[in-house]
Amino acid sequence: MKETITVHRKLEAPPSPFHCHDYPRLIRRWRKVARAAGLKMSAFAQAGGYEVFMLSSRQSPEGGVYLSAGIHGDEPAATEGLICWAEAHPDLLRREPCLIFPCLNPWGLVHNSRTDAQGQDLNRTFQHDHVPHIQALKMFLKPHRFSLALNLHEDYDGHGLYIYELERRAPFWGEELVEIARPLIPIEGRTMIDNRRASKAGLVRRKINVNKFPAIPEAVYLHLHHAERTFTFETPSEFALEQRVRVQVALINACLQRIAR
């Protein structure tokens, strides 16, 4: 009997696939985090009929961390992983200067779509100013430099976890981050990922040549203008949601513990 109860609890605990596209519920959870961590939370724009939110420290986020998820709406372990991590670490969020975008494409999250309501891939629009909420985000960023920027994603072609590390200066973190994920999920075995050669299994570390990016993703924009270290985590979206969320949480945590004051 006891065992049955344990199993039942275990089944209740994982993030439900029926909840992970529920944007109002996600925002309610972030409001609780904002209260627990003493963060300011505000709707800074409208997109596709939804309010888009940001959270920031009461002090300036200068020198702290930039966290962003949900620019692709069909990658729910990203938005879910970020909120799960935040719910578990209000004290760290209270101490560490931060700027957080919990979901940059709410319409996409609700409709399980990579693109926004206009069919645009928002993660290819950072070189322009034609998407109002991306332009607004860039205005917020303008005065700030972050020691770390994390962009959370998933890959429906992924055979395992992989990480992009935008190369600026050693020591690099990529190899250790891959090792943190290894006990939790298979590591991507492909040597070519998105037409880029992986430096090692599960790791694409690269220097950025702006001329090769006619369409600038969020991570590249952060790297070029605002962040000392920039990572993109890609969990394989055909794997179980609970497993993907656990990996995102572990990687966010590993990075934050490294810079935590």
205 binds Zn ion (CB under 5 A): no
33-72 residues near Zn ion, rule: CB under 5 A: 72
Taking the C-alpha atoms of residue 69 and residue 136, their distance in angstroms, rounded to an integer, is 16
**Can residue 153 be called a binding residue for Zn ion (CB under 5 A)?**
yes
DSSP 260: -
Q: How far is the CB of 112 from Zn ion (least distance, A)?
A: 13
Q: Which is nearer to Zn ion, 78 or 178 (CB)?
A: 78
Q: With contacts defined by CB under 5 A, name the span among 81-89, 135-143, 146-154, 193-201 that binds Zn ion.
A: 146-154
10 Å Cβ neighbour count for 80?
Answer: 29
Residue 129 in tokens: 């100013």
CB 77 within 8 A of CB 246: no
Residue 8, classed as helix, strand or coil, is helix
Looking at beta carbons only, is 56 or 235 nearer to Zn ion? Answer: 235
The count of other CB atoms within 10 Å of the CB of residue 94 is: 14
Interaction of residue 246 with Zn ion, rule CB under 5 A: no
Closest CA to 101 of 123, 118, 120, 117: 123
Sign of the alpha-carbon torsion through 221, 125, 136, 38: negative
Q: Smallest distance, Å, CB 143 to Zn ion? A: 27
Judged by CB under 5 A, which stretch of 13-21, 74-82, 172-180, 186-194 contacts Zn ion? 74-82
Shortest gap between Cβ of 51 and Zn ion (angstroms)? 22
Q: Which residues of the shown chain bind Zn ion in the complex (CB under 5 A)?
A: 72, 75, 153
